[in-house]
Structure 1
Amino acid sequence: MGMPDDDKTYRTEADGWSVVWRLDHGAIQILWVARVGEPGPLAVFDPTEPPDLVDMRERWPKLAPLWDAVRREYWAGPTSAQSPRIRQLTERAKRAGYRLVRESPMPYVWLLADVIDGEQVHVADTLDDVERWLET
């Protein structure tokens, strides 16, 4: 996935454009779009009501390569090495004898499975739920 700007936002570049986006309950929300190397952004959106990827495809269809890159990174999943929190929880689960798995399709469900036999031991809707369970 594109390098996260923090634990919740990601940056993707394609075809000379850059976008900052986040996931909110499985929806891709666009926060910022700019031409790479130009001083100002094309658009900055209110983070309380950002447009989704479908809206952006309709607004700026000529940026299809950028939207396609975001979609590819989205489907690659947040379990990539780019997510420090997921990496930390995956390691924590492994030390406890579990394997952390993100189920597809949307909405995602997180599973903890026994590392040896693969038996499912816990299901969680959020990473916070996984973390709380691992603390018990």
Structure 2
Amino acid sequence: MIRLQTEIGSMVYAVKPGDGSAREQAASCQRVIGGLANIAEEYATKRYRSNVINWGMLPLQMAEVPTFEVGDYIYIPGIKAALDNPGTTFKGYVIHEDAPVTEITLYMESLTAEEREIIKAGSLINFNKNRQM
């Protein structure tokens, strides 16, 4: 693990997030308080998923039943490589307080090249700023 390339933030898990009238507010508030990712079985709407991406967060998905709980940490090595190889699965490691580390399989469904660059830039605002330079 390279410390200078490791970021720590919060994550939200939901079976099917993004249904309702506050899709933009949900993503922006999550990012403002340190959110880096969502993990879901699927996203309720493309709009919510796009808002997650536009705020620079990872729209992660997993098919398996979660093994993590509130207070656990999830370490995902090589996330930039995963962004560069769309459609592939990658491993995450759940660090439990009182149990051995467990492995989970994650993926990001159907990211466009531009969406991948937005996430790498940290947000749509940063992405657009970088394009103008």
Q: TM-score, normalised by structure 1?
A: 0.28
Larger strand share, 1 or 2? 1
Q: Which has the larger radius of gyration?
A: 1
Pick 1 or 2: higher relative contact order, CA cutoff 8 A, min separation 6: 2
